[in-house]
Amino acid sequence: MKRALVTGVTGQDGAYLSQLLLGKGYEVFGMLRRSSSGDVIDERLRWLGIAGQVTMVDGNLLDLSSLLRIVQEVRPDEVYNLAAQSFVKSSWNQPLLTGQVTALGAGNMLEAVRLTAPNARFYQASSSEMYGLIQEPIQSEKTPFYPRSPYAVAKLYAHWMTINYRESFGLHASSGILFNHESPLRGIEFVTRKVTDAVARIKLGLASELKLGNIDAKRDWGHARDYVHAMWLMLQQDKPDDYVVATGRTTSVRDMCRIAFDHVGLNYEEFVKVDAAYLRPAEVDILLGDSTKARTTLGWDPATSLEDLIREMVDADLARHRKRAR
């Protein structure tokens, strides 16, 4: 039985990845940063029905000693570093914390693996936000980076550290440059979930409007369930490498709103309001990924369309609010 260690296990990607690994017969260990909200922190794992199947271990990316202890105790075959301060907008308000957790935290994890489990295979969650002010209309592994937020800068540090540890120490370390990926488990602070939750509340008479920032920003959106499969495939390769994971289709926030409101028979134009308070200090206007390498080398292909993804999210939020109203 293979052993996998997953940081960020209670997040969207950590939950779906744990479900995938358990289905493949892995023993899954999730690193948990303890807090006073421990009674609800495994909500996503419970949503997927796997909370009792993941072994939780206490640790923190900022504490190298805890990472060394965890890796020594777990003896993982595979390590997936998904933990981060991952909300882009908050990174301007918390730039140093974002750098410590998202950038230096990844360095700590790489160092712990190098020192205590050098034969383990390592995955780093990189981000399409690293492309920022895009230098090419379609972004591939060879497109230059131009980060436009403290979050993106931190992710870029972690990305290059992963490459450095691979080339300097021979670690089987790969990075997935994942474009936006969503699901019913997405945090409410992210725009897709903010939209689908608002659609559900408006449909049920619990709200009357939805305030957003730049609704003409375009993103390449896929389903997290598909994207964690790409993560796993990367660590099954003989040679570590970096891969763009994307659908190859870009859609504006405006059109995403249209899909979500259409699903419940409403016109988005009657409810969506643009509010300057939600604009970013530096906007990333469009992202569109070229995942040719992942498709040809890994045999990966996204299975869920944007329309099906948004409908699934709206239905999940309708179910949540109906349950609360009982």
> Cα torsion at 54, 59, 60, 61 (round to 10°)?
-70
Give the CA distances from residue 110 to residues 116, 141, 162, in Å, rounded to whole numbers and listed in that order: 10, 21, 7
Query: Which segments of the chain are extended strands (E)?
Result: 3-7, 27-32, 55-58, 78-81, 121-127, 172-178, 181-182, 210-212, 218-219, 222-223, 242-245, 251-252, 272-274
Backbone angles phi, psi at 173, to 5 degrees: -120, 120
Q: How far, in Å, CA of 158 to CA of 141, rounded?
A: 15
Q: 18, 86, 127, 291: which one is catalytic? A: 127
DSSP string, 96-150: HHHIIIIIIHHHHHHHHHHHH-TTSEEEEEEEGGGT-S-SSSSB-TTSPP---SH
DSSP string, 286-316: B--B--HHIIIII-------HHHHHHHHHHH
Q: 18, 126, 129, 182: which one is catalytic? A: 129
The amino acid that residue 193 corresponds to is R
Is 149 among the residues known to form the active site?
no
Q: 80, 123, 131, 151: which one is catalytic? A: 151
Is 127 among the residues known to form the active site?
yes
Residues marked as catalytic: 127, 129, 151
